[in-house]
Structure 1
Amino acid sequence: MQDKDILFENLMNEYIAGSITDENKGILFSLVEKSELYRKQYDEMVKLYALLHVPAFEAQKDSKYTNLKERLHVSSGMTVGRKWVIYARNVAAVILLMVTVSLGSIITYEELDNSGDMLYNETTVPLGSQTKILLPDGSTAVLNSGSILKYPLSYGKKERNVYLVGEGYFEVAKNKEKVFQVHAGDMKVKVTGTVFNVRSYPEDLSAEVSLINGGVDVSVNNKYVRLKPDEKAIYNRGTGQLYSESTESYKSALWTTGRLSFVNTSFAEILKDIERKYNVKIHVESDKVEKEYFSGSINLEMSLQEVFNFIDVDKKYRFEVSGGVISVKDR
């Protein structure tokens, strides 16, 4: 049993470091799936690791992770059970510091699919925040406010599948042997290695994929488009239409840098983004909102009142707060 505990710990170290081989990853997944103890320990390690990949305090992230790894160093003669006690004790102070800046919650759970029980990691991003995730293959995903990303524990074994609700910016590690796919509702984005942004909030009429580098294939049911850099695919949920058009694709990812960018976007759609980013409820009581369109960008360091002043330069609207709800009315 002790040998198996040591094997599990070594494999987890490789997994967290991103140096694990396909063969060893298969062994690790087998151990996790067959042991409730290993499953719980895996869950805790993933959560702790994810805490160190939050965009806030990005400049301190690497040093904190290095310090954490140094503090977790113990001799190889100790059993996993004993090491786990020391592990939990040593990271307690770090967690107390990091949890205050963590912008996403990470869980591991089981879901039944066609192949039987499958373990998933899921990250949920609260309104008003965003979170960065490092996937096991070295790919990264930045999730926008109100988004959810999940991926199976078997990620990278044969394929690299992730499931997105909301908006995500992806930098995919190249691997022609293992296709990377984003499943966003009815829409699927298929790549081998590239940089792109996917926006697919269920409450929005349309979903979009903007390609920054590389190439992607976007499909919805039996419809398909192939994108080149500075092109985006648009899927209209109302009509079922899927098409592509030229765009300045870098603007689609400006939200990752603290800005919201709009190109001929209705005021109603902009207000939805403001709701998500500032975690507020906005009630529209004006017929003009649907008919007005804007192009430009908003600095998210501005206060909510400054944002409204910036957009409503002609002073057409009143923004009234009552019971925690902002009402948009005509003047």
Structure 2
Amino acid sequence: MNETEIMQELAFAYFAGKISKADEKKLFEFIQKEEQNYQQFKDWERAWMLSEKEDLRTAREWESLQCRIRTHEAVNPMISKSGSDLWRWAVAIAAMFVLIAGGTWVVLNTTTFMNKAQYIVFEAPYGEKSKMTFPDGTVVWLNAGSSLKYSNKYNTDDRVVELEGEGYFEVAKKKKIPFVVHTRGYDVVVKGTKFNVTAYPEDSNITTTLMEGAVELLKEKQHIAMKPGESVTLNVVSGKFTLTKVNPDVSKAWSENRIEYDNISLRELAAKLSRQYDVKIHLLTEEVGDKRFSISLRNQETIGEVMSALKEIIPIQVERKNMDIYIK
């Protein structure tokens, strides 16, 4: 086997919590050589998770994480003392505060060994949804292809998170420390409430929908106070905000394993389904992408069943080739 194949085997052993100290040292030396090695490591992590068939419970995850704490002592000489301590802190946080929902895997990464920033990144890979609980009781669901970044100062100095993708938040009230969601377009400032934010980097719009409580959107000198039942969208190209009245339950349907959208274009839905089912949906004409409709599916349908439902709603033809779906 070549070096890459050997490192992949070591990575899989590491994810399973069955790696020796000597082999873990080799693995982390490989990861630190180049940025592309670190990206390869993340790809292996996702591949390993997808290969797991049984329902992983919190007790098993705790056992695996404890093994990682023990075996990671092998890499102490390679990183600074503060970095080593942060790694242990990050793994301990994972064991204590991450919850695994049915059929969902939680990915927890730390950037410690790549730089000195003391941050943790919580991810939901394509085709998955993840749920976690912070130490203050705040609960976050991440939709497919999303990530949430926060620091080791969370719940002490601040309650600040950075979102890429889509997240549904149920924020615990804490008067002295407001909860803040950073997106690439604006900040969402919260005291205690339920809301959904969609902020995928490839999308031209960033949308916040409020279910309960109150939030304020901050963008430079612009402040927008939201009320329940309102949805505010920022077009990042034009910089313009649009406020509409909506049924807020629709925006969080994905967190309850439902596909429910009002007046959505096929182009918008294709992007969402591509992330949700980890497929690539190709719209062969501009015209077909502009078609608008409403859809409500509540039984955790497969992507094939979703395509069949779409053909009943709008006049389209669908062809599938493995992970690629072509619509015309």
TM norm. shorter chain > 0.5: yes
Distance in 1 (CA, whole Å) between partners of 2:323 and 2:87 is 40
- Pick from 102, 106, 109 the counterpart of residue 108 of structure 2: 106
Q: CA deviation at 1:187?
A: 1.5
Q: Is the 8 A contact 1:107 1:123 kept in 2?
A: yes
Measure, in 1, the Cα distance between the counterparts of 2:306 and 2:129: 19
Structure 1 residue 270 displacement after superposition: 0.6
Shift of 1:279: 0.7
Match of 2:89 among 26, 32, 42: 42
Q: Is the 8 A contact 2:163 2:183 kept in 1?
A: yes
Distance 1:161 1:320, change over 3 A: same
Q: 1:187 to 1:103 in 2, by over 3 A?
A: same
Mapped to 2, the partners of 1:109 and 1:55 lie a distance apart of 25
The alpha-carbon distance between structure 1 residues 312 and 102, as it changes in their structure 2 partners (threshold 3 A), is closer
Q: 2: CA distance between counterparts of 1:174 and 1:251?
A: 24
Residues 293-319 of structure 1 deviation map (CA, whole Å, 9 limit, x = unaligned): 112323362122221121221662221
1:44 aligns to what SS in structure 2? helix
Give the aligned partner of residue 24 of structure 1.
none
CA gap 1:112/1:183 in 2 versus in 1, 3 angstroms? farther
Provide the C-alpha distance between the structure 1 equivalents of 2:178 and 2:294, rounded to a whole number of angstroms: 35
What is the rounded CA distance, in whole Å, between the counterparts of 2:271 and 2:299 in structure 1?
A: 14
Q: Distance in 2 between matches of 1:207 and 1:300?
A: 28
- After TM superposition, the score normalised by the length of structure 1 is 0.70
AA aligned to 1:109 is T
Residue 172 of structure 2: SS of its match in structure 1? Answer: coil
Q: Is the CA contact (8 Å cut-off) linking 1:181 and 1:190 kept in structure 2? A: yes
SS at the partner of 2:276?
Answer: helix
Determine if contact 1:227/1:244 at 8 Å carries over to the other structure.
no
Instruction: Check 1:310–1:48 CA distance in 2 against 1; reply closer, same or farther (3 A cut).
Output: same
**2:92, 2:125 → 1: CA distance?**
22
- Distance in 1 between the 2:175 and 2:276 partners? 36
SS in structure 1 of the partner of residue 145 of structure 2: coil
| Alpha-carbon displacement from aligned partner over 1:27-60 (angstroms, at most 9, x marks no partner) | xxxxxx9645533322322233355x0111xxxx
Map 1:81-160 → 2, pairs under 5 A: 103-110=105-112, 117-160=116-159
Equivalence for 2:48: none
CA distance in 1, matches of 2:287, 2:92: 51
Q: Is the 8 A contact 2:185 2:234 kept in 1?
A: no
Q: Percent identity among equivalent residues? A: 30
> What is the aligned-residue RMSD (CA, Å)?
2.4
Matched with 1:163 is 162
User: Highest CA radius of gyration, 1 or 2?
Assistant: 1
TM-score normalised according to structure 2 size: 0.71
Which AA in structure 2 matches 1:47? Answer: A
Stretch deviating more after TM superposition (199-208 or 218-227): 218-227
Displacement of 1:323 after TM fit?
5.6
Alignment of 1:222-261 (within 5 A): 222-261=221-260
Mapped contact 1:225–1:244 kept (Cα < 8 A)? no
Unaligned runs of 5+ in 1: 1-15, 17-32, 57-100
Distance 1:323 1:112 in 2: 36
Letter in 1 for 2:273: I
Deviation string for 1:162-220 (max 9, x for gaps)?
00000001011101211110001122100111111101111112111000000000122
The verdict on how the C-alpha distance between 1:326 and 1:250 changes in structure 2, with shifts beyond 3 A counting, is: same
Match of residue 303 from structure 2: 304
Kindly indicate whether the alpha-carbon contact (under 8 Å) linking 1:146 and 1:166 is maintained by their aligned counterparts in 2: yes
* Aligned positions, number: 250
Partner of 2:273: 274
Distance 1:157 1:50, change over 3 A: closer
SS in 1 for 2:127: coil
